[in-house]
Amino acid sequence: MTFIVIDKETGREVSDRVIRKIAKNGGLMECDIDQFAVTEDGSLILLDDCGNCTYCVQDAFEIRIEEVQDGSTEKR
């Protein structure tokens, strides 16, 4: 499954500046950000290359699923 993270404030994909701010506030290595991930319960987290993660403010972002296993697309 592929998804993109949309900043609800701007309506656009999350910028590097926002990602760095999330990383800094969450105590992650800002220079080694790995990826966003969605947990089993739908929470959005940001991970760094060192195995650290931080939860993102859920009301600030929208997750848009680009591909689903059967090939269809879905918006969440």
pLDDT the model gives residue 22: 96
What one-character DSSP code corresponds to residue 75? E
Token pair 């950000």 is found at 33
Q: Is the pTM of this model over 0.75?
A: yes
41 contact partners, CB below 8 Å, separation of at least 6: none
In the structure, what pLDDT confidence band is assigned to residue 66 with cuts at 50, 70 and 90? confident
Residue 69 pLDDT greater than 90, yes or no:
no
Backbone angles phi, psi at 41, to 5 degrees: -90, 5
pLDDT tens digit string along 20-46? 999 999 999 988 999 999 999 999 999
State how far the alpha carbon of 31 is from the alpha carbons of 4, 16, 21, 27, in Å: 20, 11, 12, 12
